[in-house]
Amino acid sequence: MLPLRPVHGQWRRPDLRNHRKIMVIDGEVAFTGSQNLIEPSYNNPRHRKVGREWVELMACLRGPIVTTLNVVFATDWLSETDESLEEQLAHRPELHAGNITAQVVPSGPGFITENNLRLFNTLIYSAQHKISICSPYFVPDDSLLYAVTTAAQRGVDVELFVSEKGDQFLVHHAQQSYYEALLEAGVRIYLYKAPFVLHAKHFTIDNEVAVLGSSNMDMRSFSLNLEVSVMLLGEDIVRRISTVEDTYRGISRELTLEDWMKRPMGVKYVDNVARLTATLQ
């Protein structure tokens, strides 16, 4: 995806990548979410030795939403191969709508509106009671940080699930540089216990809206990566994802502001230095 091949006239920016995860079968069933097509330890003997596995969340979708995901896939395929899948898309199996309203939200460098960031901010500002966020790489821009901390300060219960130990050194420390501001605002942070890496990407708003997909809550995902998110409406689907979040909470330990302020000076220094690289990661 997005190769840099000057010999073939493909001069592409090396910092761009297609981060979407989509699988469509016969135009009838689709999968999307956080999972890459690789075994849980990423085929790394060092990870297997310490029991490190990536924890994911995927959605299996049926109904008209499958066609939309298929179009996103076909668009990616055309951009990479110059081959149109229009003939395949013309085959429309009979897809019966279910009882959950869903909308696909693609985003990436081709969308100047930063669709995922605008969706996230709009929903967070709309929250009245509770926000639950799961993001393996939470390195927000100012607008998202303000949205999350403002929600907590106006009395919304906000919780954030992240990994106790990240798999990417600089990103993890950049993420940690935001913990103090989040905790001071009243956000509850749950650290999913190592050696597991919580790689799932989703959030819920009140009992009304859930968003699940490939997008992290970081600046790379908002402006550089091609991402795909699915917004799902309804109390039933929010309850099902909240059940997953309950399992995270049971496995995690809560980070308090008091404990966080006691961390070693060396860690604080590395966090602050890593934050300077946040827009590059």
34 neighbors 241 (Cβ within 8 angstroms): no
Catalytic status, residue 49: no
Q: In this prediction, what percent of the chain has a pLDDT beyond 70?
A: 97
Comparing CA positions, the residue from 223, 197, 100, 204 lying closest to residue 159 is 204
pLDDT digit string (tens) for 94-131?
A: 888 899 999 999 999 888 889 999 999 999 999 999 99
Catalytic site includes residue 21 = yes
> What is the per-residue pLDDT across 208-244, written as a single tens digit (0 to 9) for each?
999 999 999 999 999 899 999 999 999 999 999 999 9
Q: Nearest-CA neighbor of 233 among 106, 123, 68, 94?
A: 123
Q: How far is CA 54 from CA 23, 33, 39, 258, in A?
A: 19, 13, 9, 29
Cα dihedral: 125, 128, 130, 132 (round 10): -20
pTM of the predicted protein model: 0.93
- Is 201 in the active site? yes
List the domain boundaries for the chain.
6-280
Q: What is the pLDDT of residue 8?
A: 67
Interatomic CA distance for residues 254 and 179, integer angstroms: 12
CATH entry, 6-280, from 3.40.50.9100, 3.40.50.450, 3.10.290.10, 3.30.870.10: 3.30.870.10
pLDDT digits (tens, 9 = 90+) for 122-162: 999 999 999 999 999 999 999 999 999 999 999 999 999 99
CA angle 172, 175, 181 (to 5 degrees): 150
Asked whether residue 76 carries a pLDDT value surpassing 60, the answer given is: yes
Question: From the candidates 15, 26, 236, 259, which is the catalytic residue?
Answer: 26
Look up 26 and say whether it is catalytic. yes
Please pick, among 76, 201, 218, 271, the residue that the annotation labels catalytic: 201
Higher pLDDT, 278 or 164: 164
pLDDT at 246: 97
**Catalytic residue list contains 141:** no
What is the structure's pLDDT at 107?
Answer: 96
44's tokens: 């790394």
Of 57, 11, 58, the residue nearest 192 (C-alpha) = 57
pLDDT at residue 199 in the model? 97
- Marked catalytic residue, from 141, 157, 206, 268: 206
